[in-house]
Amino acid sequence: MDRFYWRLNQIFILRQLAVFYTCLAVFSIFTVSGQLIAQVNVLGKPGYIMTPNAQWDSEDELTLSFSHVPQTYAINHFMGAYYTENIYGVGVGLTNFMEVYLNITRVRERAGEIGIGDRHVSFRFRLLAEEKHGINAVLLVSAPFGTNQHLNHDALVLEKTGELSPTVHFRLTGGYALPFVIAIPTRAGDRSLTILIKSKEEANIRYLSGVFGGFSLDWKETAGLSLEHDGHTLNAGIFVRPLPWMQLQVHTFEGKELGYNFSLHFPLSVTPKEMRAYER
């Protein structure tokens, strides 16, 4: 039973996390634009469509993402079955070599049975930087705890970038993800520490195993194309940045089904509004 007072339900419909995000964003940062947003994948990490790449952003920015994945290509199963899913993501850099990502998968069809959805925590580490070492390298590690591991992936990503012309830039990525998941089950009352290693194939986990790769072309940082192979399927998409800190992407899975992705970038170190007004 819901109770709304003051007829403010028009504004405060907090059932959807998307609205929660929006409220927070509006409350806190609002008019300030962030830096250029990286192209992000289904989990809100720098990447193409499903696969990650090795792009590294400035650390004092927060990324919010929303992805819609059709049933056939869904990656977070519930009780063995896959449904059309919405994946929400938040990512932030803690240091200049480490980022933390949180995901929640909402399955609207089965919301009554599964609640808010599965949560997933993962980390991203920068190993090599192209400016210094000639190649970008990033290590992705999923937190081994939690009740399920459908989105877990532990991968190494290598990347080269370059330019075809002063306005057209390309990015070429290759990587390898472990074909198994590492899990430390945590249950109330259970204090034993066991480490489980489950084969992704046997556990019916689709997301990222084995060799994957991606390629993107970027025109003036406002629009671009991407193509990837995620180990199972070949996907392609187009993306636009109507504002430097906002990205919209539409993509196809094997040319059969459509998915989309929306993401925002927020600065975390802006000066207060009053001070900015004075400086102007």
Partner 1 sequence: MRGRCWLIGWVFFLGLCVPGYGQVAEDLLKRAGYEQVHLIRADSGKLLSWEHRNFRNPFHSLTWADQMIADTAVTGFIPLYLNRPMGVYDRKTLTYRPVTPEEKALLKTNNRLPSGYRWNFRIGPDFSARFGDMETPFRSRTNLILDTRVYLLPGLSVQTGVLVPIQNNLGIWGTHWRLAPTHLHYFAIPKPHHFMGITAGTFFQDRYGVHVQYRYDDFDKLWRIGIESAYTGYYFIPGRKLYMDPLNDLILLLDIEYRWRKTDLTLRLSGGQFIGRDRGVRGGLIRQYGRVDIGFFMAKTINGTSGGFQFALPLFPGKIVRGRKWELRTTEEFRWEYNYSHAAPIGRNFRLGMPKLSDQLRQYNSSFIRAQYFK
Residues in touch with partner 1 (CB under 8 A): 1-6, 8-9, 12, 14-17, 26-30, 59-60, 62, 92, 94-96, 100, 102, 111-117, 119, 121, 145, 186-189, 268-275, 278-279
| Contacting residues for 88 by C-beta, under 8 A, at least 6 apart | 17, 18, 21, 44, 64, 65, 66, 103, 104, 105, 106
Q: Which backbone phi and psi does 245 adopt, to 5 degrees?
A: -105, 20
> Quick one: 121 or 137, whose CB is closer to partner 1?
121
CB of residue 34 vs partner 1: minimum separation in angstroms? 12
The continuous run of DSSP H or E covering 113 comes out as helix 111-114
The continuous run of DSSP H or E covering 125 comes out as strand 119-128
> CA 204 to CA 272: how far, in whole Å?
49
> Quick one: 190 or 202, whose CB is closer to partner 1?
190
Tell which residue, 161, 154, 156, has the closest CA to residue 135. Answer: 161
DSSP secondary structure letter of residue 275: H
> Quick one: 71 or 96, whose CB is closer to partner 1?
96
CB of residue 137 vs partner 1: minimum separation in angstroms? 20
CB of residue 2 vs partner 1: minimum separation in angstroms? 5
Q: CA angle, corner 145, sides to 195 and 117, nearest 5?
A: 135
> Quick one: 90 or 139, whose CB is closer to partner 1?
90
> Quick one: 3 or 132, whose CB is closer to partner 1?
3
> CA 160 to CA 168: how far, in whole Å?
15
CB of residue 246 vs partner 1: minimum separation in angstroms? 18
Beta carbons of 210 and 176 less than 8 angstroms apart: yes
CB of residue 21 vs partner 1: minimum separation in angstroms? 12
CB of residue 91 vs partner 1: minimum separation in angstroms? 11
> Quick one: 104 or 227, whose CB is closer to partner 1?
104
Return the bridge partners of 156, or none. 139, 176
